Amino acid sequence: MAQTQAVRKDWDTYFMDIAFMASTRSRCPRRHVGAVLVQGKKLLGTAYNGAPMGVPDCSEAGCMIVEEFEPSQDGGAMIKKQRCIRTIHAEQNLLLFTDRNDREGSTVYVTDQPCWTCANMLANSGVSEIVYHRFYPKDYEKVAALMQQRGIVFRRLEGYVPPPDTEVQDGSA
Minimum separation from the CB atom of position 23 to Zn ion (A): 13
What are the catalytic residues? 91
Interface of this chain with Zn ion, residues 35 to 94, rule: CB under 5 A: 58, 63, 84, 86, 89
* Cα Rg of the chain, angstroms: 16
CA 141 vs. chain centroid, Å, equals: 17
Closest to Zn ion by CB, 115 or 157: 115
User: Which amino acid would we find at residue 169?
Assistant: Q
Q: Which ranges of the chain would DSSP assign to H, the alpha helix? A: 11-23, 58-61, 90-96, 100-103, 116-123, 140-150
Please identify, among the stretches 35-43, 118-126, 140-148, 152-160, the one whose residues bind Zn ion according to the rule CB under 5 A.
118-126
**Under the criterion CB under 5 A, does residue 33 sit at the interface with Zn ion?**
no
Count Cβ atoms below 10 Å from residue 44 Cβ, excluding itself: 16
Closest to Zn ion by CB, 83 or 166: 83
# residues near Zn ion by CB under 5 A? 8
Q: Please answer whether residues 152 and 130 qualify as being in contact, where contact means their C-beta atoms are separated by less than 8 angstroms.
A: yes
Closest to Zn ion by CB, 10 or 84: 84
**Under the criterion CB under 5 A, does residue 133 sit at the interface with Zn ion?**
no
Q: Could you give the C-alpha distances from 162 to 16, 130, 145, in angstroms and in order?
A: 8, 17, 27
Give the residues lining the site for Zn ion (CB under 5 A). 28, 58, 63, 84, 86, 89, 115, 118
Question: Binding site membership for Zn(2+): which residues?
Answer: 89, 115, 118
Question: Binding site membership: which residues?
Answer: 89, 115, 118
